[in-house]
Amino acid sequence: MRKSNMYIIAPVIIIVIVGLVIYNFYSKNTTFKDVVLDKINTDQISSLEILKSSNDEKKTITDKSEINKIINSLSVIKLSEGSYSIDSTESYYITIKTNNLRRFGMTLYDKNYLRIFDYDPKIPKNSIKSYKISNEFDPATIRSLFR
């Protein structure tokens, strides 16, 4: 009787372990909306500061329609969390300010990677996470600011 129970219990344990591994793998996929936009009231964004790394040109966007246009372009980004070695030719440093206080800092590397820094004062250590952009994303809205 005990041997037959082992033949039933062992596969169940293996299935549970495999299920947990698969769940953990897929739970690392997220979106820009989940990581940033769900944590702030987008109506309270007072400005976006964007610095183009190749020439240190900086733009400060305060016009609500321009802010919304840029935020909307970023909102479609799907992300895969992890540690990545980033090879980039073009990067932009973006700071989202709400009520004139820094709320999120981001580095957009080409159209492939995004590093997000959360300035939330409730988090004892400000958090920074790296993501690979997992869908087609065109940073044309951001690039167009520097033409």
Q: Residue 59 is part of a domain; what is its CATH number?
A: 2.60.40
Q: Is residue 79 part of a domain?
A: yes
Tokens of 118: 């959360």
Tokens of 144: 């167009």
Q: Evaluate if residue 54 carries a pLDDT over 70.
A: yes
* Residue closest to 68 by CA, chosen among 94, 51, 45, 50: 45
* Residue closest to 139 by CA, chosen among 51, 62, 44, 73: 73
Q: Is residue 108 part of a domain?
A: yes
Q: Is residue 100 part of a domain?
A: yes
What's the whole-model pTM score?
0.77
Count how many domains the chain has. Answer: 1
Is the backbone of residue 46 left (phi > 0), alpha (psi -120 to 50) or beta? Answer: alpha
Quote the domain boundaries for residue 40. 29-146
CB atoms within 10 A of CB 1: 4
Q: Evaluate if residue 68 carries a pLDDT over 90.
A: yes
pLDDT, tens only, 24-37:
555 578 999 999 99
DSSP code, position 75: H
Q: Is residue 20 part of a domain?
A: no
Q: Is residue 22 part of a domain?
A: no
Q: Is residue 16 part of a domain?
A: no
pLDDT, tens only, 86-139:
777 889 999 999 999 999 999 999 889 999 999 887 776 658 889 999 999 889
Q: Is residue 88 part of a domain?
A: yes
